[in-house]
Amino acid sequence: MDYMDVHTFLTIVSCESLSKAADLLFVSQPALSHRLSKLEKELNVKLMVRGKGVRNIRLTEEGKQFVSIAQKWEALYFETQKIRQTDVRSLIRVSNVDSLNEGIMTNTCSDFLMHHKQCRLHVTTLRSDAAYAAAENHEIDLGLIMNPRFSRMIRTVPLFEENLSFVCGMSSDYRRPLSSSDLDAADEVYIPWGNTFLRWHDYWFGPAADTRISMDHMALLEKILCLDRAWAIVPATVAAKLVKTGNVKRVPLKDGPDPRICYGIFKENESERPQIAAFMKEFIRQAEKMPEIRVLKAAG
């Protein structure tokens, strides 16, 4: 199939009119009809019902079925064009969980690019389960995750562990010594940091706790913690950054959650790429600089 013929078909479907599609594609209606007829001939099916004086097109049953196929074909065409236009050896596709964006990933990416000028990065934020799926589907080269799972296709390597800290607003009256039994989930700013946090949370508050607010990212965290008696459990690196604002304090918590562990995930053959190894080395080097983190894999 020809790209322009498929694209023409999808444009007509979107516009629901031959004349509107022709205007959008900057071609005449006869040229548009020729492309459509060419596609129908190649597929050996009638895709649309059209006739003189009919403004709007009507898809045949075969045409309706072909819409999703055409959309997938066009997306695949774009992907193949990227391969032609890109030196894939210099591109590293990395995913990380949201909490790593606070400091460690920023410094890792900037220093890595400074020392590897031939490389390019594509960085996206994915939760752990989505990162495994992306790695298995060759959509990322390296994933940085917190919740490991078994995969026959993916290698999972522990990189570092980090304590989880109790934080609240400066005006809150939480005082040491503080125990988990003293906490009320109705005041909690809930962010699911990983398996160790979830086990702790289920033990103390149950799996269906009614928290004050639940979020899957940290954008609102500092502001919400200023509410009366609001509290949260956060990674130690995040806690350190919040404390520096002067609006948040950290209070030691007895029987708090176990440390969370950060893992690198990748297909076995990806670890042989020097660019991937270099990026992981830089990531570990940045982690070693942080007093809140205990590195499990050396940067050598």
CA–CA gap between residue 265 and residue 272 (Å, rounded) = 13
- CATH, residue 128: 3.40.190.10
Above pLDDT 70, what percent of the chain?
A: 94
Last residue of a domain, one of 56, 84, 112: 84
Verify that 104 and 149 share a domain, yes or no.
Answer: yes
Burial of 290 (0-12, 13-18, 19+ CB in 10 A): middle
Provide mean pLDDT across the span 231-250: 94
Verify that 79 and 92 share a domain, yes or no.
Answer: no
Q: What is the pLDDT of residue 170?
A: 94
**Total structural domains within the chain:** 3
Q: 180 and 253 in contact (C-beta within 8 Å)?
A: yes
Verify that 76 and 214 share a domain, yes or no.
Answer: no
- CATH, residue 27: 1.10.10.10
Q: Which domain holds residue 229?
A: 164-254
Q: What is the pLDDT of residue 27?
A: 87
CA nearest to 259, candidates 188, 181, 178, 159: 159
Residue 181 inside a domain? The answer is: yes
Verify that 144 and 264 share a domain, yes or no.
Answer: yes
Q: What is the pLDDT of residue 267?
A: 87
Verify that 188 and 247 share a domain, yes or no.
Answer: yes
Least confident span in 75-79, 142-146, 231-235: 75-79
Provide mean pLDDT across the span 74-78: 86
Averaged pLDDT of the chain: 89
- Which helix (H) or strand (E) segment holds residue 94: the answer is strand 91-96
Last residue of a domain, one of 65, 84, 103: 84
| pLDDT single digits (tens) 3-30 | 899 999 999 998 888 888 888 888 888 8
Query: Model's pTM, two decimal places?
Result: 0.68
Verify that 150 and 274 share a domain, yes or no.
Answer: yes
Predicted confidence band at 51 (pLDDT cuts at 50, 70, 90)?
A: low
Last residue of a domain, one of 52, 84, 116: 84
Dihedral sign for Cα 218, 189, 169, 201, please. negative
| pLDDT single digits (tens) 120-177 | 999 999 999 999 999 988 889 999 999 999 888 899 999 999 999 999 999 999 988 8
Verify that 52 and 118 share a domain, yes or no.
Answer: no
Verify that 150 and 269 share a domain, yes or no.
Answer: yes
Residue 208 inside a domain? The answer is: yes
Q: What is the pLDDT of residue 280?
A: 94
Residue 168 inside a domain? The answer is: yes
| pLDDT single digits (tens) 96-106 | 998 898 779 99
